[in-house]
Structure 1
């Protein structure tokens, strides 16, 4: 399902901060983040079942990340895997992609939106990001501010989205320096929403409750990875991925850093 928090142009030392969780069935085979052999400019994990990815970046600062839209009544079992949308954007020419390339890709997303189950796609580069939602065929520019994106459109204030946006906003306003572990802690919040504030997406009370926290852990499904993407004032990009077991234990933290 996944959740993303984005702080854009809110600090001089870190103009872009993205903190994200990937939620998935524990049994789904996954490769951890690395530069892809066939696309050495592309850094991402990989879904070994369908071949795509949920979030990635390139050496030139192109970015893409995906969240599913939760709508169990409108699932096409023959739909194309949504993970290819992230890979398709990042696998393109390793040269930096500007407004023309973003506009062309958006047009492609709009044209093919019926091929996929519901999704939000964050894509662009470190200087210009936007979110496309294929359910309502809408586009939202990521301007100056702090944003949260979960499994509805970007304008829907689910409790865990509001909680994460508030926590990240308070942190970047109050702290003199940015600490990676503090950002990982925000992604580790496990408190559930109060019943009165639970969304009703058609999956039943037990699942709505279980999925209402930023960090998810159930018997078969939960948060598999937390990822930080930070771009500093010198255009140095830092990527950190923390992987978890089905018991929520940290298995590994991978770190990459390069100049854009």
Structure 2
């Protein structure tokens, strides 16, 4: 039951135009690779997902419209795209296949997304968005390294947010045995939980700090941290 928080501030001059903090929740037994550079010229940094958008020369809204026309072929999903461009301006777009709506361009702001549609106010999402917002308010006073660490602390908040009626109604029999654990931002059960924390910072000049903290399965007490810094071609 993954969760994502992000700031989209395309007009930022002195701070960050984009900040993302995300948890990926998964069964511990499922094979997975840490994020790394790959592609023909090793120009793509990712966990090997949404490859078509990353490799095609198309803007985010056009790509999402194409995906939406095929959405009925897949299980429910959410997809967010971002285009950073110093000439045309930054844009972010969102499509939720279960929303019944067309893909849309996002206004600047702070957003949260969990295992429902964008901004669905689950208790854990509301808490996480508040903690995320409070942290990025300090971003001008913090170094990138300290800001990343503070955001990872947010992602690892393990306070249960009960009652979790929205989660229970969505998952029904699947989630009831560990509903309490799923109500926290950081999920930990015997076989399923948060396996990855990801923090991405993009400053006004297009410099990117990318940090991923990955659990070394199946040991929830051992983690690998991967950090990357690079400039966007914008």
TM norm. shorter chain > 0.5: yes
Structure-2 separation of matches of 1:24 and 1:39? 30
Larger CA deviation: 168-177 vs 127-136: 168-177
Q: What whole-Å deviation, never above 9, does each CA across 1:201-239 have from its counterpart, x for those lacking one? A: 123533332211111111111111111111012210111
Q: Offset at 1:255?
A: 0.8
Q: Is the 8 A contact 2:164 2:183 kept in 1?
A: no
Counterpart in the other structure of 2:87: none
Give the TM-score normalised by the residue count of structure 2: 0.84
2:95 to 132, 137, 158: 132
- Unpaired segments ≥5 residues, structure 1: 47-52, 54-85
Specify the alignment match of 1:205 in structure 2.
Answer: 176
* Deviation digits for residues 38-97 of structure 1 (CA, Å, limit 9, x no counterpart): 462211123xxxxxx2xxxxxxxxxxxxxxxxxxxxxxxxxxxxxxxx11111224xxx4
Greater strand proportion: 1
Other-structure match for 1:158: 122
Superposed, 1:1-260 pairs within 5 Å as: 1-9=1-9, 12-38=14-40, 40-46=42-48, 53=49, 86-93=50-57, 97=58, 101-126=59-84, 127-138=90-101, 139-174=103-138, 176-178=141-143, 179-195=147-163, 199=167, 200-201=169-170, 202=172, 203-245=174-216, 246-260=218-232
Q: Could you tell me how far apart the structure 2 residues matched to 1:6 and 1:250 are?
A: 27
- What secondary structure does 1:24 align onto? strand
C-alpha distance in 1 between matches for 2:194 and 2:21: 13
C-alpha spacing 1:189/1:206, structure 2 compared with 1 (3 Å)? same
| Alpha-carbon contact 2:61-2:93 (below 8 Å) kept | no
Report if the CA contact (8 A) 1:217-1:247 is conserved. no
| In structure 2, distance between residues paired with 1:121 and 1:256 | 23
Query: Does the CA-based 8 Å contact 1:198-1:209 persist in structure 2?
Result: no
Alignment root-mean-square deviation, CA: 2.0
The superposition leaves residues 136-161 of structure 1 with CA deviations (integer Å, 9 ceiling, x where unpaired) of 23334332221110011113101111
Aligned residues: 216
Query: In the alignment, is the contact (CA less than 8 A) between 2:178 and 2:189 conserved in 1?
Result: no
Q: Which whole-Å CA distance do the structure 2 matches of 1:24 and 1:259 have between them?
A: 31
CA pair 174-137 structure 1, distance change in 2 beyond 3 A: same
1:249: how far off? 2.5
Shift of 1:7: 1.2
Q: Tell whether the 8 Å contact from 2:123 to 2:164 is kept in structure 1 after alignment.
A: no
Q: Decide which moves more: 196-205 or 160-169.
A: 196-205
Would you identify which runs of 4 or more consecutive aligned residues in structure 1 move more than 4 Å? none
Distance of 2:164 and 2:2 partners within structure 1: 23
